Amino acid sequence: MQSGMWGYSATAGHRTGMDLAGFHVEATDGRIGKVDKHSDEAGMSFLVVDTGPWIFGRRVVLPAGTVVRVDPAEETVHLNRSKDEIKGSPELETHQHPDERTYYEQVGNYYGLL
């Protein structure tokens, strides 16, 4: 698993304890959905994003390393990935919990190869 991608960069503007739930999520080529929930766990930080109707209501996990900027005033999280890259990511099934190690490994491998 690509460990560096599971932490926010120092320049992203994220602070521990910041509530990102409900923030809009912007890929490099447009809006993809909203943050459903997130984790600030050291070394395993991520966002769970509900993509809504954009890709048929999928929920995906985005490693914190994909976040380039958090804009609290606009309640928006900006990513360094395109819509197509996110669309191709492993889906978080409704019965899965985002802390299942095998799912993390799939997501880490997917984003580590892009």
CATH number of the domain residue 12 falls in: 2.30.30.240
Residue 30's CB is within 10 A of a number of other CB atoms, namely 9
What pLDDT, in 10s, does the model give residues 56-85? 678 889 999 999 999 999 999 999 999 989
Q: Which helix (H) or strand (E) holds 84?
A: helix 83-87
Residue 7 is given by DSSP the state S
What's the confidence (pLDDT) of residue 58? 82
pTM score of the predicted model: 0.85
Hunting for tokens 């070394």 — which residue is that? 43
Instruction: Return mean pLDDT, the chain.
Output: 86
Pairing of the two strands 76-79 and 24-27: parallel
Residues paired with 47 in a beta bridge: 38, 62
Q: What is the pLDDT of residue 92?
A: 80
Tally of structural domains, the chain: 1
Q: How far is C-alpha 15 from the chain's CA centre?
A: 16
User: Which residue positions in the chain have pLDDT lower than 50?
Assistant: 1-2, 114
The boundaries of the domain holding residue 33 are 3-113
